[in-house]
Copies of this chain bind each other. A is one copy, B any other.
Amino acid sequence: MTRFSYLNGEFLPHEKCFVHIEDRGFQFADGAYEVTLFENDNLVDGDFHLQRLMRSLRELNIEHNFTIEELKKIQLELFSKNNFLTSAYCYLQITRGVANRTPWCPKNLKNTIVATVSAKKIISPEELDKGFTAMTHDDIRWHRCDIKTVNLLASTLVNQKAKDAGFDDAIFVREGIVTEATYANVFIVDDKKNLITHPADNHILQGITRNRLIKIAQENKINVIERKFGIDEMMKASEVFLTSSTLIIRPVFQINRQEILGREKASKPSLAKILKEAYEDFVGSISSN
């Protein structure tokens, strides 16, 4: 089975997809991206991902002349060319384009558009039941984390640092405030079953899965509060979990090698489990369209 990828108008064998060395994505991280879940022939919240991508391009002043519909068509056609995949992800990256290297952002470039697909990794129920471990880490990222760009060096370095230290992930802390994990939003549940997460400002990415779970929570009469919180409050929570398009919901049981303090007393089933099931129902409902 040949794995096909998309590059600037063509569907090519993945190993034949190359960009020029003066692509702005390669020299300046001058591009945006999205990772979208694909289940049973449908993109999960595909329109929201593409709307966010359009916002990212606007914030970066990356000119383009394509529509959300055109990008969606590319994604779906790519899955049909890789029809051995059922449960999978689409990675879509758009850069400003190729230009002689200049410190500023040249105008009127032809964008580079890349899309790849990969199978969804199956997580066993046992693995899920174990929960994640995380370390906290200074949020050394830039100050426009609200834009989903390939300016990802800080996240990838700190993610690796966490793994080297024996943790599953790292949770960023900026001036005492918990912002995000390296590639996921962070939620905590307090002893009154309030669901709390960082407000969507310039220090976090407004996750599509985050937003969907907030909506699902509210539909299930769970009180959602978007406000800042620190490490102490997180350590005392009943639950801590990470959310992203690839993790969906992943509970965190230990941070900095300490158990989350409120977990013992927390009622069962956990909110994470309730929300995960509701999210799966949601995915099932859009798949049948």
A: residues with CB less than 8 A from B are: 5, 7, 15, 17-30, 33, 60-61, 91, 93, 95, 100-101, 103-105, 114, 116, 118, 138, 140-144, 149-157, 159-160, 163, 182-183
Contact = CB atoms under 8 A, between A and B. Distances in A.
Contacts of A18: 18-21
Nearest to A155: B103
Given A142-B142, A163-B104, A154 B151 contact: yes
A136 to B, nearest CB: 15
A282 B40 CA distance: 67
Nearest to A202: B140
Give me the 10 closest cross-chain CB pairs, A-B, nearest first. Answer: A18-B18, A29-B29, A140-B143, A151-B153, A105-B160, A104-B160, A28-B152, A17-B21, A29-B153, A104-B159
Contact of A29 (B22, B23, B152): B152
A138 B142 CA distance: 11
B17 A17 contact: no
Contacts of A101: 91, 116, 118
Contacts of A156: 24, 28, 30, 103-105
A142 to B, nearest CB: 5
A22 B140 contact: no
A153 B116 CA distance: 23
Given A30-B152, A100-B118, 9 more contacts: A15-B20, A19-B21, A21-B93, A26-B95, A28-B152, A29-B152, A105-B159, A140-B144, A141-B143
